[in-house]
Structure 1
Amino acid sequence: MKNFKYIKLLLPVLLLAFCYSFAQVKIAPRPNFIPPVIDSTKTLTQQQYRQLYDKLKNYSDTTSTEMLVMIVNTTQGEAAWKYAFEIGDKWQIGQKGKDNGLVFLVAVQDRDVFIQTGMGLQHLLTDAQTKLIIENEVVPQFKRGDYYAGIDNGTTAIIQVLQGEYKADKKQGNAVPFVFILAFIVFFIIIIAIISRRSGGGGRGGGRGGFGSDLADIIILSSLGRGFGGGGGSSGGGGFGGGGFGGFGGGGGFNGGGAGGSW
């Protein structure tokens, strides 16, 4: 009963922090045409860009799954996962009704990468598998300065997972879930400790801070189900028209799933 009282008191604060935090994310309005690769940094050569473009377009043509690779210099202080979430959700990456979109975000100056998965892919591509792909296929190449190889390897591994073909190193495959479980337990112990410590403070507000903002995002996004749901609107069933490539978009349904890393 006492715990319920704490949750009741904390929920409005979390909701306010959540709204304030998301107001800080400034994402460009959804363009009319969304290509499978957006490189605003000119990190890729023309040939590398075309190879990735064709690869992801062909995969979308044959499976309807839309993978958007977005390369930016910086997320301007925003968490990479949140930035990728906003792109996927507001731009409605994926097919309408399937929520089978994916955003592969690379922030070059920030040295951050995040793969955000739509809800329609999460039963096939779990967060743990996504983390393995980033650690095994992407980050090692990024550390060598080969961004194309990292993105190419990463997207290939994602395709293999979705086809049931990707086999991660067993040693790493067993270790990562344990690390996630341990981190999850420690995280909630810290939260309980903070709530318990502050509950006797007689209504002291305390600053919101970045930690409270991220906590609010995680808790509320995890409970949203369809998230801020794309599904609405309309882009001709995924952006294909007249046999030609009309760009991505039309779905959405992101709820914060995925994994990231840095180098």
Structure 2
Amino acid sequence: MKKLKIIFILFFLFLASSVQALDVPYLVGHVNDYAHLLSSQTVSDIEQLLKSHEKRTGNQIVVLTIAGLEGEVLEDYSMRVVEKWKLGQKEKDNGVLLLVAAKDRKLRIEVGYGLEDYLTDALSQQIIKNVIVPQFKQGNYDKGIENGMFAIVKVVRGEIDSDDLQKSQDNLWGQVMFYLLVMIGMLVWFYLLPGALKRNRMISIASLWGGGSFSGGGFSGGGGSFGGGGSSGSW
């Protein structure tokens, strides 16, 4: 009888934990700010950066912010997210997830199999420690996440290494601002053009920032796989 009671208790505990498991939200774009940490301008800027990078390389880098983990282990939840979203291309496994749990003050970079040789566990930890966390500690989520995304893009392109990431995060912010100013300058120049020239220049501007259309539409992963590569941190 005692053994039967223990079995029932364990069974109901299992059911309770299953019911209370934190849901994986819908994948709506490169930026999934469910914790509402980012300004609309930052969301737009990061979307443009990651969309352009994906069009050029096929690498699918995505941000997810959530209010809290509700008792779930960060690494377990991160794996559940990437298993459901299937970020990256099926044969290349070139997806990356930056997960931020606001109330728990925890974050993780999850790296797909195909990018583990580029965005190593050590480099992921350096991005978290040297680029993102210093801004989070100041309450600056916009700058922290934008700098983090910019660093991840540069690393997987092979444009910066561990020595670069040891430098002040202000250097990365300067590069972000440079690219944003270039983009703004191009838009101003475009709108000052006469009508006919404006129409002719539209395709070249779109091509420069990754080609294709900027119109809306569905967004989904491409079937990529993950094996637990990456790193976690807190602030």
Q: What is the CA distance between 1:145 and its match in structure 2?
A: 0.5
Distance 2:38 2:165 in 1: 33
Residue in structure 1 matching 2:116, options 105, 112, 122: 122
Cross-structure match for 1:64: 58
Cross-structure match for 1:87: 81
What's the CA shift string for 1:78-137, capped at 9, x where partnerless?
A: 121221111111111111211111110011111001000011110111101100111010
> What value does the CA root-mean-square deviation take over the aligned residues?
2.6
Bigger Rg, structure 1 or 2: 2
Q: What is the CA distance between 1:166 and its match in structure 2?
A: 1.5
* 1:99 maps to 2:100: no
Identity of aligned residues (%): 40
Q: What is the CA distance between 1:172 and its match in structure 2?
A: 6.2
Report the residue type matching 1:102 in the other structure: V
Q: What is the CA distance between 1:75 and its match in structure 2?
A: 1.2
> Which structure 2 residues correspond to residues 94-243 of structure 1 after superposition, within 5 A?
94-169=88-163
Report the residue type matching 1:149 in the other structure: K
Report the residue type matching 2:219 in the other structure: G
Which 5+ residue runs of structure 1 have no aligned equivalent? 1-18, 174-241
Report the residue type matching 1:41 in the other structure: A
Distance 2:103 2:70 in 1: 10
TM-score, L = length of structure 1: 0.60
Aligned-partner SS, 1:120: helix
Q: Residues 37 and 69 of structure 1 are in contact (CA less than 8 Å); yes or no, is this contact kept in structure 2?
A: yes
Going from structure 1 to structure 2, the CA distance change for 1:49 and 1:170 (only over 3 Å counts) comes to closer
Q: Residues 65 and 101 of structure 2 are in contact (CA less than 8 Å); yes or no, is this contact kept in structure 1?
A: yes
Distance 1:117 1:93 in 2: 10
Cross-structure match for 1:54: 48
Report the residue type matching 1:115 in the other structure: I
Q: What is the CA distance between 1:246 and its match in structure 2?
A: 3.4
Cross-structure match for 1:250: 222
- Tell me whether 101-110 or 153-162 shows the greater mean CA deviation: 153-162
Q: Residues 133 and 158 of structure 1 are in contact (CA less than 8 Å); yes or no, is this contact kept in structure 2?
A: yes
Distance 1:108 1:171 in 2: 24
Q: Residues 22 and 72 of structure 2 are in contact (CA less than 8 Å); yes or no, is this contact kept in structure 1?
A: no
Residue in structure 2 matching 1:78, options 56, 68, 72: 72
Distance 2:101 2:230 in 1: 16
- Tell me whether 246-255 or 98-107 shows the greater mean CA deviation: 246-255
Cross-structure match for 1:260: 232
Report the residue type matching 1:28 in the other structure: V
Aligned-partner SS, 1:260: strand
Report the residue type matching 1:163 in the other structure: R
Report the residue type matching 1:258 in the other structure: G
Report the residue type matching 1:151 in the other structure: I
Q: What is the CA distance between 1:26 and its match in structure 2?
A: 3.6
Aligned-partner SS, 1:51: helix
Distance 1:118 1:25 in 2: 24
Q: What is the CA distance between 1:170 and its match in structure 2?
A: 8.0
* 1:28 maps to 2:8: no
Count of equivalent residues = 174
* 1:41 maps to 2:41: no
